[in-house]
Amino acid sequence: MIQEAKRMAEHAADETIAAPIRIDNVSRRGVLGGVGALVLALSLSDRAKADEGQTEEQKAKKFGADGMPNGWRDDPKVFVAIAKDGTVTVTNHRSEMGTGVRTSIALTVADELEADWAKVTVVQAWGDETRFGNQDTDGSRSLRHFFPHFRHVGAAAKLMLIQAAAQQWGVPAGEVKAENHVLTHAKSGRTLGYGDVAEAAAARPVPARESVALKKPEAFRYIGKGKIGLIDNHDITTGKAQYALDVKLDGMLYAVVARPAVYGGKVVSYDDAETLKVPGVIKTVKIEGGEIPSEFMPLGGIAVVAKNTWAAMKGREALKVTWDDGPNASYDTDVFRKELEAAARKPGKVVRVSGDVDAAMKTAKKRVEAEYFVPHLVQAPMENPAAVARVKDGACEAWACTQGPQAAHDRLMKRLNLPADKVRVNVTLLGGGFGRKSKPDYVVEAALCSQAVDGAPVKLVWTREDDIQHSYFHTISVERLEAGLDDKGMPVAWLHRSVAPTIGSIFAPDPKHELPFELGMGLVNTPFALKNVRLENPAASAHTRIGWFRSVSNIPHAFAIQSFVAELAHAAGRDPKDYLLDLIGPARKIDPTELGDVWNYGEDPARYPVETGRLRGVIEAAAKGAGWGRRLAKGRGLGIAGHYSFVTYTAVAAEVEVDDKGQVKVHAIDIAVDCGPHVNPERIRSQMEGAVVMGMGLALTSKITFKQGRTEQTNFDSYEIVRIDAAPKALRVHLVPSGSYEGPLGGVGEPGVPPVAPAIANAVFAATGRRVRELPLRDQLSS
């Protein structure tokens, strides 16, 4: 997504002018060395079947993992190693930030390998996409892209063990069985452990892909069972797990940075005399920045390097800096909102059209229109951005909580002017990411500080205030919808204008229009059964850093569309759930390109059509779980919303209560998800639960505002996330499996967020009769 967004933005700008588990960062020696280690992989060709019957142009376009920068890898010296004692080590190349990807990848390999889970360990790959394949942990695609490859890795490893045992016994390989870490020859009763033949198996050629048989799903021991806890749970709960903030090196110094309060601001001059008097402060370092577009480079400012973080922070307080606030000094979100609203009320760039909306509007029996507003948001992960870097002897090594280790590697190369083989980025655990940690500006800051203190390792820390005030913010947006209804209350015309600054603005000079991947997040691919549709995208400039946020543009699109559907249902005197299902129409498979979606989350539209039957299914499941249609006490209401995102289908039914002071209490949430076949159901449930809580924060409490170019919020007292006492007493996750394990998987990390806010807003309307069209809801209800 990172490279894709940059390419799109530049183009748009041109156009618009279990057992205790050991978790370590794996070293090259650790993977390649070790007497008797078996290191295995495959040479896969997953495109073969998909290419059948396609045109040459279709064959040339790559999708999924094939379409990502550096694609996928299955080198035998990368992902699996078996030691003489039988320990299986799986190398995880994706960043672990609470999704359980380390566990899911390991259990996939272990299942096909027929490994004993108690003998499985995981090591973390460093940033090297040439070696490991794509490592951008974003877009809800780690398992979606790599599940089939890791199945084959495990299956090939098992076959090579079988062949090695058969050779040792002098029997046909077909007579040898591998099960739970033991190789057995039934006719003679002989057995061997995996470690006993590891060295011999490693010497064998990797079997051809067509000779590797995958398990039948009914034979799975781990995949789809939901019985495997986090592989690193022991280390996390006992405090042994290493996050970026835990990294300690000999002689390490600490740093914080005084950054410009306004995006594009620069240092005019500074006086560090008082700073250098603070005990423990060693040096101040000017970091160049302030360029627009900023991409992933630092904002600039003055770093304070000290013997401890407290001294660095006190030294920063003593700094006297004169700033040039630059071109965004007057940014005011209240004023900008009015600009967005004005743009939404005029025609914009048409991004999808069918039929004749204007003519149909004229013949409609009734016309309904509404505008919805979503403010800037900040990711605010519990672990703030942090990195340790050591720049010495013409090389840089960093340790960071990063979602994009290759991106960090490349930006370090660029800023330090070092060759690729002289830069290494080690990936720690991430205490949350939500898109913020895919941008490695903080890693570059750490390296620049280390370079300035003669190569001493420096831990660069962002405080909570730094994180909230200087982030890559979720875009602000206004969504305007108009519908013409027939005499039965159903739409005969649908007009939607979406106005929001684009993420592309950090890559290219002010592209002004949402990029295809943003338009494909719940706008152009809205799968309603409508004849007359026009979707428009008026221009909007960016005045701060815009970045990925969990589920990205699906948030404003889903909030607006699903709220508007409920408004139409009310205007028609219909039940909101029944009306939504009628609007979706009968079960059918739609080519995303027919909806104007040229992106489709990077997936092949033939393999991933939009399936309205699956969307209907999750809506029905959420409604059933909530007991839709039951009578509720006064002040209580039920609301529902469904959404398609990251090639997964989700729906939320919310039960809320609103008191006479406008305070909202969410009593229950039912969330249904259809993400295709399940690899690790326990983590699907966990991700849905987390998505609900995060979605509740967006719905009820969270917002970022700007005055004079500056973020008004500073910490969790002013940027409120949902507190534990606000969590619903009942949070029920309904898994709706579909498809086979040979078929495609959907995403899981992000799709649970978008339908939460509209479901709550619809429930508030059901409880009070008051329609709130702006997030967060609490501000409107309590005013």
Q: What is the pTM of this model?
A: 0.93
Q: Which of 448, 443, 408 is nearest to 303 (CA)?
A: 448
Q: Are strands 386-392 and 491-499 parallel, antiparallel or unpaired?
A: unpaired
Q: Enumerate residues 6+ apart whose C-beta is below 8 A from 742.
A: none
| E strand or H helix at 16 | helix 2-16
Q: Are strands 366-374 and 386-392 parallel, antiparallel or unpaired?
A: unpaired
How far, in Å, are 216, 231, 537, 691, 707 from residue 103 at the CA level?
21, 5, 41, 19, 44
Q: What is the DSSP letter of 449?
A: H
Cα 240–chain centre separation: 26
Q: How large is the average pLDDT for residues 160-174?
A: 97
Long-range pairs for 603-606 at CB < 8 Å and ≥24 separation?
Answer: 603/63, 603/64, 603/647, 603/744, 604/50, 604/63, 604/64, 606/50
Task: Please indicate whether residue 34 or residue 59 has the higher confidence score (pLDDT).
Answer: 59
First to last CA, the chain: 40
Q: What pLDDT sits at residue 780?
A: 87
Asked if residue 77 has pLDDT above 70, the reply is no
Dist. CA 492–CA 484, nearest whole Å: 6
- pLDDT tens, residue by residue, 444-485: 999 999 999 999 999 999 999 999 999 999 999 999 999 999
Quote the tokens at residue 87: 């320990």
Q: Which band of pLDDT confidence, cut at 50, 70 and 90, is reported for residue 27?
A: very low
Asked if residue 180 has pLDDT above 70, the reply is yes
Asked if residue 73 has pLDDT above 90, the reply is no
Asked if residue 145 has pLDDT above 90, the reply is yes
Q: Enumerate residues 6+ apart whose C-beta is below 8 A from 138.
A: 1, 2, 403, 404, 435, 438, 548
Mean pLDDT over each residue of the chain, to the nearest integer = 92
Quote the tokens at residue 287: 């970091």
| Residue in the block written with tokens 């995102």 | 645
Asked if residue 606 has pLDDT above 70, the reply is yes
Q: How large is the average pLDDT for residues 739-760?
A: 97
Dihedrals phi, psi of 323, to nearest 5 degrees: -110, 145
Dist. CA 26–CA 447, nearest whole Å: 22
Quote the tokens at residue 760: 């709550």
Q: Which band of pLDDT confidence, cut at 50, 70 and 90, is reported for residue 579?
A: very high
Asked if residue 11 has pLDDT above 70, the reply is no
Q: Which of 259, 244, 209, 266 is nearest to 47 (CA)?
A: 209
- pLDDT tens, residue by residue, 223-233: 999 999 999 99
